[in-house]
């Protein structure tokens, strides 16, 4: 299993870090078998597998329930778990308590939090001091989508670009182990990556980040209809999965399934009871 130090070494050696989200046992198992470096139990869980409207509806219990399943599926892979909406904003004490609960119950390697406000920076520092590695998340931070005013690229002008660069330095200075950059112009993501000594993991942030992360269901095109520009689907499970189910339905209707190959038979026909 990768450790935080390995991530830093990968950055120094220009070896790309791969990350994918997973939300359950089979997706985690598949990601580990494929050889992914890190798994994120993202709060995208809410939309992708629970059918919520947004990440705002995701609860601590959801993250723990799914985080545990991911851990069972990928026991040898570095796992980060998202702290969900408002679970680290009410007070430092409550934030630390929630972090302890999620970290201990999921047995993950790291927690991820969005933003770089003063309170978040202190929180990152306290968690790191306590022994919980933190992955920061800047740029488009979906938990703040209602404040940001939509899913838009962040840091496109001089003021916001400077703010993002400053925030990246701050989370690194406060002990963050890695930084997810979401929907950031390629040039800015490159500058951030070259300005801090922790790995950047991009999603919609260009090729110069130290690593890349995508949502499992986006890569497989599974249950998602519209894909954002930054996603490259590597297969189409919407189509192949539906075709498989249609073939199954048709086979059952026409008695093509189960065939003898998929059925059990008695060795001794005399063993059948007499008909009444
Ligand atoms: O929840 C999530 O899937 C994420 C990634 C997109 C980084 O935070
Ligand atoms: Na997330």
* 112-157 pLDDT, tens digit each: 999 999 999 999 999 999 999 999 999 999 999 999 998 999 999 9
CA dist., res. 171 & res. 166, Å (int): 9
* Predicted local confidence at residue 157, as pLDDT: 97
Residue 276 has pLDDT above 80, yes or no: no
Is there a cis peptide before residue 258, judged by omega within 30 degrees of 0?
Answer: yes
* 165-218 pLDDT, tens digit each: 999 999 999 999 999 999 999 999 999 999 999 999 999 999 999 999 999 999
List, in sequence order, every beta strand (DSSP E) within 141-224: 178-182, 200-203, 211-214
Could you tell me what percent of the chain has a pLDDT over 90? 97
Residue among 40, 62, 218, 228 to mutate when testing ligand 1 (max atoms within 8 A of CB): 40
Length of the chain: 276
Catalytic residue flag (residue 53): no
Cα(225) to centroid of ligand 1, in Å? 18
Helix (H) or strand (E) holding 27: helix 25-34
Cα(275) to centroid of ligand 2, in Å? 62
Nearest ligand 1 atom to the CA of 180 is 7
Give the residue whose CA is nearest to atom 2 of ligand 1: 42
Give the residue whose CA is nearest to atom 1 of ligand 1: 42
Nearest ligand 1 atom to the CA of 44 is 1
Could you give the ipTM of this predicted complex? 0.99
Residues whose CB falls within 8 Å of the CB of residue 2, separated by 6 or more in sequence, listed in order? 37, 38, 77, 78
Q: Residues at the annotated binding site for Mg(2+)?
A: 43, 82, 114
* Predicted local confidence at residue 274, as pLDDT: 87
* Predicted local confidence at residue 275, as pLDDT: 80
Q: How confident is the model at residue 98 (pLDDT cuts 50, 70, 90)?
A: very high
Active-site residue (options: 125, 182, 255, 276): 182
Give the residue whose CA is nearest to atom 8 of ligand 1: 42
CA dist., res. 198 & res. 169, Å (int): 9
Could you tell me what percent of the chain has a pLDDT over 70? 100
* 39-78 pLDDT, tens digit each: 999 999 999 999 999 999 999 999 999 999 999 999 999 9
pLDDT (average), residues 221-241: 96
Distance of CA 212 to the CA centre of its chain: 11
Query: Domain spanning 4-235 has what CATH number?
Result: 3.20.20.60
Give residues whose Cβ lies within 5 Å of ion ligand 2: 42-43, 82
* Predicted local confidence at residue 73, as pLDDT: 98
Cα(246) to centroid of ligand 2, in Å? 34
What are the boundaries of each domain within the chain? Answer: 4-235, 240-271
What's the 3-state SS for 159-178?
A: HHHHHHHHHHHHHHHCCCCE
Q: Which residue(s) pair with 80 in the sheet?
A: 40, 110
């Amino acid at each position: 299993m990768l450790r935080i130090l390995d991530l830093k070494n990968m950055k120094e050696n220009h070896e790309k870090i791969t990350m994918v989200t997973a939300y359950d046992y089979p997706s985690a198992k598949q990601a580990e078998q494929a050889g992914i470096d890190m798994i994120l139990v993202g709060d995208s869980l809410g939309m992708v597998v629970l059918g919520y409207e947004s990440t705002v509806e995701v609860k601590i219990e959801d993250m723990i329930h799914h985080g545990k399943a991911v851990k069972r599926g990928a026991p040898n892979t570095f796992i980060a778990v998202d702290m969900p909406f408002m679970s680290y904003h009410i007070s430092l004490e409550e934030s630390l308590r929630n972090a302890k609960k999620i970290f201990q119950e999921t047995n993950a390697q790291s927690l991820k939090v969005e933003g770089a406000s003063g309170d978040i920076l202190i929180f990152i520092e306290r968690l790191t001091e306590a022994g919980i590695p933190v992955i920061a998340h800047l740029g488009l931070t979906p938990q703040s989508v209602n404040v940001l005013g939509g899913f838009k690229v962040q840091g496109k002008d001089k003021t916001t670009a400077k703010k993002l660069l400053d925030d990246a330095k701050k989370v690194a200075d406060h002990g963050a182990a890695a930084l997810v950059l979401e929907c950031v112009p390629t040039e800015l993501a490159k500058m951030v990556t070259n300005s801090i000594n922790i790995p950047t993991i991009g999603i919609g942030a260009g090729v110069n980040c130290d690593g890349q992360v995508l949502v499992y269901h986006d890569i497989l095109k599974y249950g998602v209809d519209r894909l954002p520009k930054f996603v490259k689907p590597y297969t189409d499970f919407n189509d192949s999965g539906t075709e498989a189910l249609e073939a199954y339905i048709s086979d059952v209707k026409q008695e093509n399934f189960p065939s003898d190959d998929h059925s059990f038979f008695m060795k001794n026909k005399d063993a059948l009871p007499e008909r009444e």
